Structures are given as C-alpha cells and as structure tokens.
Structure 1
Amino acid sequence: MPSRVIQGLSAGTVAAVLTVGLTACGSGAASDSGAAANSAANAATGAVTVAALANGAGTQTAVKVAEVASLHAELPASVASGGQLVIGVGALPAGFPPLAYVGSDQQTLTGSEPDLGRLVAAVLGLKPVVVNSTWENLFVGIDSGRTDVGFSNITDTEERQKKYDFASYREDNLAFEVVKGSNWNFDGDYTTLAGKTVAVGAGTNQEKLLLEWQARLKAAGKQLTVKYFPDNNATHLALVGGKIDAYFGPNPGIAYQIAQDARTPNPTRNAGTYSGAGATLQGLIAATTKKGDGLAKPVADAINHLIAGGQYAAWLAAWNLSNEAVRTAQINPPGLPLSNS
C-alpha cells in the first residue's frame, strides 16, 4: 500500500519508514548506476530529466539546464578538479517516495532529492554521482569526504550546524490530509481543530504538536480527538471511511498519498501545511556539506540560479511539492533550536 510517513530524515518530521523495496539493500551504500547512463544522455540535450521512472509518484519532466561558468569557478579546487559531484542520499534499506526510492526499472534511484542534486551538478558543470546509503552512513560519507553533499531531506538544525554547512532548498512542512469532498481547511489556527478527529503517528513531532493543541483546546472547554492506527493502510481506510476527519503527517508523504489516490474512487487532498519546526520558526530542508569545505556557497548559488530560471519550480511541480518552495536558498539559516533538535 502507498506509505504515508517518513522516518529519521528530518528532525522536524520523524515518523515510521516508508516501505518501498530497494534493490541494493544488502550493503551499506549503493551507487546509482542507472542514473549515470541517463545523465550522459541528458548532457547531450542540455536537460535533466526529473521524476524519471517515478512509478506514479511524480510527472516525468525534462528540465533545461546548462553549466554556469561563474558558478563553476566558485567550487573548491578539490571538487572542481575531480569533475564530479558525489551526492549522498540516505534511503537504505527502504525508500521514501516521493523523496528518494528505486524507480520502476528496479535499478535507478529516483525522487525529488537526487533529482535536485543532479540539477545542481549540471549548473556547476559537474557529473552527478549519486550514492545511496543508510541514514547513518550518509553522514559518515560527508564526514570522511567520500561524499561531497547530502541531498536527503535533511533538516537544518542548530545541533547539525556544529559539524555541517547548509544550503536550504525546501520548507520542512507537516500537512493535514482530508478526503477531497471535505470543506475543512487548516490555516495555521489550531482552534479550527475543535470538534475534529485526527490521526497521527505515535512518537512523532507531529504527535507532539497535536497533543499540545489538544491540551489548549481542552483548557478552553473544546475537544480534539486524537486517534492512532497500527499501520498506514489502517489509517488510510479510516480516513476514506469517515472514521477520522484528517491525518496529520509529513507533507511529502501526504503529497505521495494524494497522487496515489487521485485516480481512485476515494481521492484525498491537502488541507493545509504547518512548519515542522513549530509556530516560531519555518523549518528548512538543506543540502549538507562538511563544515568549512567551501562547497555550501556554490551549491546555494546554483539553487538560486535554478530558482531564478524557473527550473526549481518545474522540479517541485514534477514531484507535487510546490507547497514547500522557498524564495531563496540560504547558507546556514536559523536552524531547529537545540532544545528541539
């Protein structure tokens, strides 16, 4: 069944892992050999194909992109001389659509995260080499220098900024999923949840937020009912069966579920988003490099070039993630505080 939640990849949105089989599960890391051939073909046409082999999670789109010599000149000598950008993704042993997972050819790592890495590499005039590993080994690769940059739904936090530099590229959002026929929307005001029954994953950041809102509503004499279900299938059946009013979870997982439901008799929709960092800070997902290695700036500048040229918007739209767009990529923006990292 389509999965709905994401584990471990974002300190702001921790939940159960999305279970999509990867072919290279036995080792700690796997190189994306399928994408290498696609990359060579794309280089000849001046385009990067995003959402290739998406298996229903995205819309395949050819995005025109060319090297920018001035941005290539910003690269640290160690990266420029190698001619490639080693992009780390922590999607083993299971993928998490639409962010990173093995595509319909059972070989190529697809998803919004490796796709943005490939677009950045094209702007910087580098060959993208995508390496898939476990979440822990993703950071080991960055620490050791074997990986140049992580594109893996990594939340910018104060704790991580002690060891890494960040170039932000997406909002870290939670969302409410409702049936398409529902007229309820969440506009950031938790009081609109009064009288609602909402499902959430146990032990997650979104559960913490929901229980805080429940307590405030109770103090005001109003009721918010929080429900838990044993698995994704049970949650989905409860939603489309009218047993709950909404599901509260990570926005990308909900975008994936909505795409899967679109052609079924029970379509769902996004009823509103909320920052994974809470009310006082917009959480951000960021490209992650070793602190002080000089790569964060050219990566951020490449992302801003893609934003200005429209390729960034096309990338997000292909993966149904336009509601997580940022206006600009920032280097080491304020991160999730140490008290909530």
Structure 2
Amino acid sequence: MPSTRFRSRFTRGLLAATAVTALATGLTACGGDSAASAPSDGKNTAGTVTVGALSNGAARQTDLKVSAVAAIRAHLPKSVTDSGELVIGVGALPAGSAPLNFIGSDQRTLVGSEPDFGRLVAAVLGLKPVVKNFTWENLFVGIDSGKTNVGFSNITDTEERKKKYEFASYRQDNLGFEALRTSTWNFSGDYQVLAGRTVAVGAGTNQEKILLEWRTKLQAQGKKLTVKYFPDLNGSYLALSSGKIDAYFGPNPGIAYHVTQNAGTSRPTRNAGTISGAGTTLQGLIAATSKKDSGLAQPVAEAINYLIQNGQYAQWLAAWNLSNEAVPTSQVNPPGLPLSNS
C-alpha cells in the first residue's frame, strides 16, 4: 500500500467521485458468505461464493463454484481449524475505496474485490468467512492481537512489513494511465512515450514521484512532459473528458472502477497501460497478510493457487475489471518493496 498521505488523497478522491456513504463500525459482510463445509471424509465438498453482489455496477455479479480442499485445510494451524472460521480483516473505514472495499447498493453492506477474494479463500479452506471492517491502522492492530487471522485489504508486500507479518501474494500492485477511449495513445512501459503529453496526477502520491522522475529524464533530453494538478479526482476527470489532458495517472483499481462507471457516457475512457507501483525495477505485489509465524501464509497461498488453477481466480478478477493485475501464482513472502521504499 502506498503512503498514508497517498491513501488519504486517493480515498478522498474516490469519495468525491462516487459519493460513497461513510461507514460505521460493525458493518455486516456481503452476501454469499456461505463457504463450502469442511470435508470430513478426505474429499472435496462443493459450495458457491457470489462475487460482485450489491456492487452498484462496479462488478458483474458472478456465482463461483468452489470446493473445500481437505489436503490444503490440513495445513492450517490447529487453532484456526478448531474455530471453523477465517476472520478476514478489511481496512475500509471510514469511506472505502471502490472497487476494493466500499458500501454496497443497500447502503449498509461492505462489498468489493478484496472481501470477495477473502471469502473465496475461506471456501477452499473449508472455513466460514467472518469479514471485519476496520480503519487502516486498526486492521494491523487486529492482526497483531490475533483477533484477525488475515488481512485482505490491498496491502502491499514490503520488506519493512515482513518484520511483523507474513504474506501470500494474489495481485499485482499497479498504477495505470486512463485515457479517452477515442485516444490512440498507450503507455508501453517506456516513459519516452510521455514526451509531448499532458498528464494529471495527484500531489503527494507515489505516482507523482514516479511521473516527476520521468519528467526530469525527458527534460534532460530536451523533451517536454506537462504535469497537471487538480483539487480533486473529479477535476482530473473533467479535464480528461474535455481534452485538456491526455491522460490521468493513478492507482489501477481506481481507474478500473471509473472505466466501468463512465462506459455508457458520451466520453468513455479506457486503461491505456500500467506500471508497477514499485517503479520499473520491481513488480509490487498485493498480498494476504497474517501475523509473522502464524502458519497461515502457506495454506492461504495454496488456497489461492487452487483458485488460480481451477479458474475461479480469473473469474473473480474479470468480474471486478482487474484482470490486468493477475499473477501467475501465489508466493509466500516474495521479494517486497525494499526498506528504502517501504
């Protein structure tokens, strides 16, 4: 996850753009929580998890058949197996960040790609998912205290966090460029394609740092990249719609959400390319996060790989328009953002 400053700015922008209702403590988890029952005979027991429910158009509601896998469940810590529950922490208070975690169309239920994926993992483990909503800071307090088993909340794997937590990766941590659908411009991964372009970015964000570094390199070559700032996300999108900027550079999930929301308008947009939130030297990863030495990272990674191999993972990403953040496999404690960039 980017810095606190970035998180607050991103959240405020999405709040202004989507008018998400502020959350209160004690929110209920989304429908479709019935995990596959724990297999008692060594076989797989099928169940159904609904993703994208109550998403208000942010996702395509999809029913996914999932089996509880005894061989993977057997690797869980005994305390978790005995409880019969997987307590999933989400740091969405107070306002959420669509499409990751936000209030659903019933104005009370926590929905989003992150709690949905936690429920899918719980189903493979044969556990009842219990989704708890926290502020970002209290999410980690819950993990530290053992009251929360695992966080599914767009948490970036970093070397600093590995001092206290263990990870099972499940998504790329990407930034994206959003352009009008009528534009032919694409970001190929090479900053040189930004020469002569005008790009909006949020001040004080990780993506601003990357964009300004590229601007400096282009200036050294006698080329120009114009960086624009607006008071909020609505301002950036108005500038994009009116043709005052060529692209908006921001968090890929937020762009995925906005693309779905304006698809039916007169000026629809598209994702014009992505780059790792860690920059050009390392692919950042989003990971399920548990207390260090809890013994949960390995079985959670196995459950994620089961979902990857059996197709539910790809269907989940497609439902939330996040297929461009797919990983080929879940890794336990993969290389994270270095200490100098944590």
Return the TM-score normalized by structure 2.
0.93
Q: Matches of 2:36 and 2:52 in 1, distance apart? A: 14
Taking a change above 3 Å as real, the CA distance of residues 33 and 224 of structure 1, as seen in their structure-2 partners, is closer
Q: Matches of 1:41 and 1:135 in 2, distance apart? A: 26
Q: Deviations over 1:29-50 (max 9, x none)?
A: x252553xx3239879721000
Gaps in structure 2 of 5+ consecutive residues: 38-44
Other structure's SS at 1:87 match? strand
What residue number does 1:300 align with?
Answer: 301
Check whether the contact 1:174–1:248 (CA below 8 A) recurs between aligned residues: yes
Taking a change above 3 Å as real, the CA distance of residues 10 and 151 of structure 1, as seen in their structure-2 partners, is farther
What is the correspondence of 1:117-128 to structure 2 with a 5 Å cutoff?
A: 117-128=118-129
Taking a change above 3 Å as real, the CA distance of residues 33 and 180 of structure 1, as seen in their structure-2 partners, is closer
1:66 Cα offset (Å): 1.2
Check whether the contact 2:166–2:332 (CA below 8 A) recurs between aligned residues: yes
Other structure's SS at 1:327 match? coil
1:313 aligns with 2:314: yes
Check whether the contact 1:42–1:49 (CA below 8 A) recurs between aligned residues: no
Percentage of pairs with the same residue? 67
1:233 Cα offset (Å): 1.2
Other structure's SS at 1:66 match? strand
Q: Matches of 1:266 and 1:197 in 2, distance apart? A: 18
Root-mean-square deviation (Å): 1.7
Q: Could you tell me which amino acid in structure 1 is paired with residue 143 of structure 2?
A: I
Q: Matches of 2:328 and 2:3 in 1, distance apart? A: 22
Check whether the contact 1:87–1:128 (CA below 8 A) recurs between aligned residues: yes
1:141 aligns with 2:142: yes
What residue number does 2:289 align with?
Answer: 288
What is the correspondence of 1:132-281 to structure 2 with a 5 Å cutoff?
A: 132-281=133-282
Check whether the contact 1:34–1:107 (CA below 8 A) recurs between aligned residues: no
What residue number does 1:40 align with?
Answer: 34
Q: Report how many aligned residue pairs link the two structures.
A: 328
Check whether the contact 2:174–2:251 (CA below 8 A) recurs between aligned residues: yes
1:113 aligns with 2:114: yes
Report the more deviating stretch, 9-18 or 260-269: 9-18
Taking a change above 3 Å as real, the CA distance of residues 11 and 254 of structure 1, as seen in their structure-2 partners, is same
Q: Deviations over 1:209-238 (max 9, x none)?
A: 000000000000000000000111111110
Check whether the contact 2:150–2:289 (CA below 8 A) recurs between aligned residues: yes
Q: Matches of 2:30 and 2:54 in 1, distance apart? A: 11
Q: Matches of 2:192 and 2:288 in 1, distance apart? A: 35
Q: Which has the higher contact order (CA 8 A, sep 6+)?
A: 1
Return the TM-score normalized by structure 1.
0.93
1:10 Cα offset (Å): 3.6
Other structure's SS at 2:199 match? strand
Other structure's SS at 2:10 match? coil
